[in-house]
Amino acid sequence: MSTEALDAAPSFPLAGLVKPLVQPLVAVAIAVLVGGLLVLALGENPIEVYSILVHGSLVGWPNFLVTLQMMSPLLFTGLAVAISFRAGLWNIGAEGQMIMGALAAGIVGYAVDLPTALHIPLALIAAFAGGLAWALLPALLRVWLNLNELVVCLMLNPIALLLSGYVSTHLLKAPGPTNKLPDIADTAALPTFSLYSQVNAGFVIGLVLCLVFAVVNGGTKKGFEWKIMGLNPRFAYYGGIRVPLQAVLVMMLSGGIAGLGGAEQVLGEYRAFYDNFSPGYGFDGIAVAMLANFHPVGVVLAAFLFGALNGGSAVLQMMTGLSKYLVQVLQFIIVLILAAQFSWAFLGSRRKAPPAHAAPAAPKEE
């Protein structure tokens, strides 16, 4: 998928804008069609179901704000995955990094006594550091020992869950029936705007981050280096890019952003660290990043789509009696189609490559 990006020298500017939208739109369209057949099989009217879904996610402030709430964590995890994947680093550990960021924000949020102007930034920095630390381990193992970061990240996810679970059910548990840390102080809370939705200032942070990285990716030397690394790390190395250092940097940024996503949850939505709070935002982030073609602006659009699906889901359940799983199935179909495209392109590139290049390279070693 990403290999095409380089040789695409658009003949006229409009094609350059339209082309990256084609694949995701095809995936979404197929998902909508297959989902429609599914709804039909369940004995409901697909047009009615989709219209309720659209209505329940976009029409009216309450619905729209819930969509923004649902998309907020995905802005962070989607961006985290997108910038690492773009640089050829398979950080699928956004879930664990987000949990560690959330834990750090939750602890700083209640244990520290500061005025708002300092408390929120400190909690955000703690969250960034928490996520960063959790991404640093796979990054270092990658550049020192050439251990596959994909596997290490994957294994660190449940460790983060269990570790934070231990902290929130044993070490620092708040009194009461729920496994959580004590509530954060009001001085650390990110403000919300509506009774209907927990969307909070963290949404704005996520949006700004996406825009910042759109500029970094598209308009700076660093962004270009990361892209080359992702396309061909050996070429990047011979081109004078310090690949291991950049790889660690990208992983740290990626983890830190996922950690900030945890802060959005704890400081804005939950107002305390809850054990096992995430229904899988980190994994949804992978789907969002893939749908976005690893482009930060695409992340905003893809997160909006997933947010709308989940936001409309509750209204769909209220009005039709269909279960929440319908919306999840729609998401999974999108992921499945994207994954199929992805692996098809990957296999295609392997087939085309001459034998000498087909040998698995370990280009990140110096």
- Rounded to whole angstroms, the Cα distance separating 345 from 58 reads 35
Class of residue 240 by CB neighbours under 10 A (exposed 0-12, middle 13-18, buried 19+): exposed
Smallest distance from other proteins to CB 141, Å:
30
**Options 318, 340, 353, 361; binder of other proteins; rule CB under 8 A:** 318
Q: How far apart are CA 322 and CA 319, in angstroms?
A: 8
Q: CB of residue 196 vs other proteins: minimum separation in angstroms?
A: 5
CA-based radius of gyration for the chain: 21
Under 8 Å between Cβ of 136 and 248? yes
Applying CB under 8 A, among 2, 3, 187, 317 the residue interacting with other proteins is 317
- Beta bridge mates, 192: 200
Residue 321 DSSP SS3: coil
The residue within the footprint of other proteins, chosen from 77, 157, 265, 293 (CB under 8 A), is: 265
* Beta carbon nearer to other proteins, 78 or 233: 78
Residue indicated by tokens 């094609």 = 15
H-assigned helices in the chain: 3-7, 13-41, 46-58, 61-86, 94-111, 116-145, 149-166, 201-219, 221-231, 233-238, 243-263, 281-291, 296-320, 325-352, 355-358
Sites for other proteins among residues 218-247 (CB under 8 A): none
Contacts of 204 (CB under 8 A, 6+ apart): none
The span from the CA of 68 to the CA of 116, in Å, is 24
- Select from 42, 279, 347, 361 the one that contacts other proteins (CB under 8 A): 279
Question: How many residues are there in the chain?
Answer: 366
Stretch that binds other proteins, among 78-86, 108-116, 164-172, 222-230 (CB under 8 A): 164-172
Q: Tell me the per-residue interface mask from 10 to 29 with other proteins, x by CB under 8 A, - otherwise.
A: ---------------x--xx
- Among the residue ranges 1-9, 63-71, 285-293, 357-365, the one whose residues contact other proteins (CB under 8 A): 63-71
182 binds other proteins (CB under 8 A): no
Residue 192, SS3? strand
The interface region with other proteins, picked from 45-53, 85-93, 116-124, 229-237 by CB under 8 A, is 45-53
Contact 331, 287 (CB under 8 A): yes
Structure tokens at 287: 């789907």
Tokens 């009774």 belong to 195
178 part of the interface to other proteins, by CB under 8 A: yes
- Does residue 167 bind other proteins (CB under 8 A)? no
Among 115, 177, 354, 360, binds other proteins (CB under 8 A): 177
Q: Which of 51, 148, 220, 343 binds other proteins (CB under 8 A)?
A: 51
Tell me if 63 contacts other proteins by CB under 8 A.
Answer: yes
- Span of 60-68, 98-106, 129-137, 231-239 interacting with other proteins by CB under 8 A: 60-68
Residues near other proteins, by CB under 8 A: 25, 28-29, 32, 47-48, 50-56, 59, 62-63, 66, 69-70, 165, 169-170, 176-179, 195-198, 265, 269-270, 274, 277-279, 310, 314-315, 317-321, 323-324
